[in-house]
Amino acid sequence: MKIEVLGSGCAKCMQLYDNVNKALAMSGKEAEVVKVQDIPSIIKYGVMSTPALVIDGKVQFSGKLVTPEEIRGML
């Protein structure tokens, strides 16, 4: 599984990255977690507001911060 956290490096984007890692630990699953801060790469996903979460190439949400529990439900 590949998980991408899209964002410019703001506080919410960094918190989302941490929440993804917590969700993985809670679920016992393993994944490649990548921060994507390159604006053209973010736009390719059609994301206009960050933070955003992409799991295996599919945008799960954008423009909000979600909890580790909510992320765990997406895994």
Residues that are catalytic: 10, 13
Do 34 and 5 meet the contact criterion of CB atoms below 8 Å apart?
yes
DSSP at 7: S
Question: What digits encode the pLDDT tens for the residues 25-60?
Answer: 999 999 999 999 999 999 999 999 999 999 999 999
Domain region containing 70: 2-74
Identify the pLDDT of residue 67: 96
Query: CATH number for the domain including 62?
Result: 3.40.30.10
The whole-chain average pLDDT of the chain stands at 95
Q: Give the total number of structural domains in the chain.
A: 1
**Strands, sheet with 32-36, edge to edge from the N-terminal-most edge strand:** 32-36, 2-6, 52-55, 58-62
Burial of 4 by CB count in 10 Å (0-12 exposed, 13-18 middle, 19+ buried)? buried
